[in-house]
Amino acid sequence: MDSVVVDGLRISGLSYLLIFVVLGIFYGLIKLLLRIFPAKE
Amino acid sequence: MTELLRGIVGMSDWRVWAMFCVGLALIWLAVKKEYEPNLLLPMGFGCLLANIPFSSAVGGGFLDVLFKGGITNELFPILIFIGVGAMIDFGPLLQDPEMLFFGAAAQFGIFFTMMLAVLVGRIPGITGIPGLKEAAAIGIIGAADGPTSIYVATRFAPGLLAPITVAAYSYMSLVPIIQPPIVRALTTREERMIRMENPEHEVSKTVKIVFPIAVTLIAGIIAPMSVALIGSLMFGNLLRESGVTERLSKAAQNELTSLVTILLGITIGSSMAGKQFLNPTTLLIIAMGLVAFVFDTAGGVLFAKLINLFRKRKINPMIGACGISAFPMSARVIQKMAQQEDGGNFIIMHAVGANVAGQIASIIAGGLILALVH
Residue B20 burial (CB count, 10 A): 16
B33 within a domain of the structure (yes/no): no
Q: Is there a contact between B329 and B181 (Cβ–Cβ < 8 Å)? A: no
Buried b (16+ CB within 10 A) or exposed e, B328-357: bbbbbbbbebbeebeeebebbbbbbbbbbb
- Residues in CB range of B10: below 8 A, 6 or more apart: B16, B53, B54
Residue B86 reports pLDDT greater than 70 = yes
- Residue B50: predicted pLDDT: 94
Chain A residues touching B369 at Cβ < 8 A? 11, 15
First to last CA, chain B: 52
Q: Is there a contact between B39 and B265 (Cβ–Cβ < 8 Å)? A: yes
Q: What is the mean pLDDT of residues B243-272?
A: 94
Q: Is there a contact between B137 and B153 (Cβ–Cβ < 8 Å)? A: yes
Q: Cα(B211)–Cα(A1) distance, rounded to whole angstroms? A: 44
Q: Does A35 touch chain B (CB under 8 A)?
A: no
Would the CA dihedral through B311, B313, B318, B324 be positive or negative? negative
B245 within a domain of the structure (yes/no): yes
B251: confidence class by pLDDT, cuts 50, 70, 90: very high
Q: Is there a contact between B54 and B10 (Cβ–Cβ < 8 Å)? A: yes
The tally of domains found in chain B comes to 1
- Encode B134-159 in three state secondary structure: HHHHHHHHHHCCHHHHHHHHHHHCHH
Mean residue pLDDT across chain A: 91
Those of residues 115-174 in B touching chain A at CB distance below 8 A are 115, 118-119, 121-122, 131-132, 135-136, 139
User: How large is the ipTM?
Assistant: 0.94
Provide the total of helices (H) and of strands (E) in chain A, helices listed first: 1, 0
Residue B361 reports pLDDT greater than 70 = yes
Q: Is there a contact between B120 and B292 (Cβ–Cβ < 8 Å)? A: no
- Residue B72: predicted pLDDT: 86
pLDDT tens, position by position, B89-137: 999 999 999 999 999 999 999 999 999 999 999 988 888 888 899 999 9
Residue A41 reports pLDDT greater than 60 = no
Expressed as residue numbers, the domain containing B96 is 77-372
pLDDT tens, position by position, B5-16: 888 888 889 999
Which of A15, A37, A40, A41 to mutate to probe the B interface, most B CBs <10 Å? A15
B37 within a domain of the structure (yes/no): no
Q: Which residue has the higher pLDDT, B328 or B359?
A: B359
Q: Cα(B133)–Cα(B290) distance, rounded to whole angstroms? A: 19
B68 within a domain of the structure (yes/no): no
- Residue B6: predicted pLDDT: 83
Q: What is the mean pLDDT of residues B45-73?
A: 92
First to last CA, chain A: 59
B23 within a domain of the structure (yes/no): no
Mean residue pLDDT across chain B: 92
Length of chain B: 374
pTM of the model: 0.90
Q: Does A33 touch chain B (CB under 8 A)?
A: yes
Q: What is the mean pLDDT of residues B329-340?
A: 92
- Residue B331: predicted pLDDT: 92
- Residue B65: predicted pLDDT: 95
Report helix, strand and coil shares of chain A as percent, to nearest 5: 85, 0, 15
pLDDT tens, position by position, B125-184: 888 888 899 999 999 999 998 889 999 999 999 989 989 988 898 888 889 889 999 999
- Residue B325: predicted pLDDT: 83
Expressed as residue numbers, the domain containing A2 is 1-41
Chain A residues touching B122 at Cβ < 8 A? 2, 4-5
- Residue B222: predicted pLDDT: 85
Q: Cα(B125)–Cα(B123) distance, rounded to whole angstroms? A: 6
Closest residue of B to A19, CA-based?
A: B104
The tally of domains found in chain A comes to 1
Length of chain A: 41
Residue B190 reports pLDDT greater than 70 = yes
Instruction: Tell me if A37 and B108 make a contact (CB, 8 A cut-off).
Output: no
Q: Does A37 touch chain B (CB under 8 A)?
A: yes
pLDDT tens, position by position, B270-308: 988 988 888 889 999 999 999 999 999 999 999 999 999
Q: What is the mean pLDDT of residues B236-247?
A: 96
B127 within a domain of the structure (yes/no): yes
Q: What is the mean pLDDT of residues B197-212?
A: 89
Q: Does A41 touch chain B (CB under 8 A)?
A: yes
Q: What is the DSSP letter of A40?
A: -
Chain B residues touching A4 at Cβ < 8 A? 118, 121-122, 131-132
